[in-house]
């Protein structure tokens, strides 16, 4: 049978472990969310997006634009840099938002990244 002191010691160790785990997760989230896009811009490549999605720092995206000129903008804790939302960029041109010619292409890319929540805003020309 456990004494009260033994139970308190076990609970104390478990609480300390849980607190340390939470602190480590918060510190790791700060490191990831503290990174901007390439060279401090508000553009971000898909590999960095995937890491932020896994950590729930990016939770959704919106596709904005007009016919043949769609761009993907992200929302969430880790989806801003210098007060601006991050836009998906391509490897070929990491300093500019990636332009999709169709909504299907943009939605397909977001599905590959692991996002299930997407808002679509098509602007009238």
Three-state SS string over 22-61 comes to: HHHHHHHHHHHHCCCCHHHCCEECHHHHHHHHHCCCCCEE
Predicted local distance difference test score (pLDDT) of residue 84: 87
Q: What is the pLDDT of residues 80-115, one digit of tens each?
A: 888 888 999 988 888 899 999 998 999 999 999 998
Domain presence at residue 69? yes
Name the domain count of the chain.
1
Predicted local distance difference test score (pLDDT) of residue 77: 82
Domain presence at residue 28? no
Q: What is the pTM of this model?
A: 0.67
Domain presence at residue 13? no
Domain presence at residue 12? no
Domain that holds residue 112: 34-122
Are the C-beta atoms of residues 85 and 74 closer than 8 Å to each other?
yes
Domain presence at residue 24? no
Predicted local distance difference test score (pLDDT) of residue 78: 82
Which CATH number does the domain housing residue 52 bear? Answer: 3.30.720
Query: How many whole angstroms separate alpha carbon 97 and alpha carbon 7?
Result: 56
Predicted local distance difference test score (pLDDT) of residue 87: 94
Domain presence at residue 26? no
Predicted local distance difference test score (pLDDT) of residue 124: 62
pLDDT tens across the length of the chain (125 residues): 556 666 555 555 555 555 555 555 555 544 444 444 555 678 999 988 998 888 888 989 999 999 899 999 998 888 888 888 899 998 888 889 999 999 899 999 999 999 888 888 877 65
């Amino acid at each position: 049978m456990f004494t009260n002191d033994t139970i308190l010691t076990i609970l104390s160790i478990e609480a300390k472990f849980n607190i340390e785990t939470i602190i480590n997760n918060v510190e790791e989230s700060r490191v990831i969310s503290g990174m901007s896009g390439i060279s401090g811009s508000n553009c971000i490549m898909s590999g960095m997006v995937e890491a932020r999605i896994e950590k729930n720092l990016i939770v959704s995206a919106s596709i904005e634009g007009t016919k043949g000129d769609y761009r993907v903008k992200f929302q969430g804790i880790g989806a801003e840099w210098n007060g601006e939302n991050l836009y998906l960029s391509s490897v070929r041109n990491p300093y500019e938002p990636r332009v999709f010619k169709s909504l299907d292409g943009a939605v397909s890319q977001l599905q590959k990244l692991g996002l299930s929540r997407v808002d679509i805003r098509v602007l009238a020309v």
